[in-house]
Amino acid sequence: MTPLKRTQLQRKSTLSRTPKTAKQKAARAKRLAKQKLDCHSPYWCKKADAVWSKVVRSVGRCAKCGTTSKQLQAHHLIRRQNVVTRHDINNGICLCAYDCHKFGEGSAHSNPVVFSVWLNEALPERWMWVRMHRFDAMPAGIKPDYKQRFEDLSAILKELEG
Ligand SMILES: [Zn+2]
């Protein structure tokens, strides 16, 4: 995992960028309507991302330092660019945003090697899962059904909240 640059952290998709003119608004609405009909679209991928993150963060504390008082984020153990494992609950770990996720000493993004050593010691089963799935790939010609993933994750979240 390469550390994210600030520009990458701040990059927004064309859908989340706020449209300014009426023409831009209309174009955005059209894109959105088209994507809603396509279960493989970025629209559904982002919807699944959001619910995946909520499910992962539902534990309510940082898995590494144990804090409950800081902002929590969901970290992908296998990089999220891998669409096979992107929305798998096993691939998510709840970390405090600054110290353990992105910037602190031994945090997941600033020092992935140290972080891996920690994961192996603290959560060996999870580390084993990561090692088993890190090279998973979609079969040729198959695209992930993000809408289905969104629905499955929403059901999990509902159960957690209910
Ligand atoms: Zn932490």
> Where in the chain are the domains?
37-135+145-156
Distance 142 CA to ligand 1 centre (A): 37
Q: Is there a contact between 64 and 114 (Cβ–Cβ < 8 Å)?
A: no
**How many helices (DSSP H) and strands (DSSP E) are in the chain?**
6, 2
Q: Mean pLDDT across the stretch 60-84?
A: 96
Distance 96 CA to ligand 1 centre (A): 4
Distance 118 CA to ligand 1 centre (A): 12
Taking only the tens place, the pLDDT of each residue in 119-152 is 999 999 999 999 999 999 999 999 999 999 999 9
Distance 160 CA to ligand 1 centre (A): 22
Q: What's the pTM value of the predicted model, to 2 decimals?
A: 0.84
Distance 75 CA to ligand 1 centre (A): 11
Distance 17 CA to ligand 1 centre (A): 30
Taking only the tens place, the pLDDT of each residue in 17-42 is 677 899 999 999 999 999 999 999 99
Distance 29 CA to ligand 1 centre (A): 39
Spatial distance between the Cα atoms of 11 and 94, rounded to a whole number of angstroms? 22
Distance 102 CA to ligand 1 centre (A): 10
Query: 132 in the Ramachandran plot: left (φ > 0), alpha (ψ -120 to 50) or beta?
Result: alpha
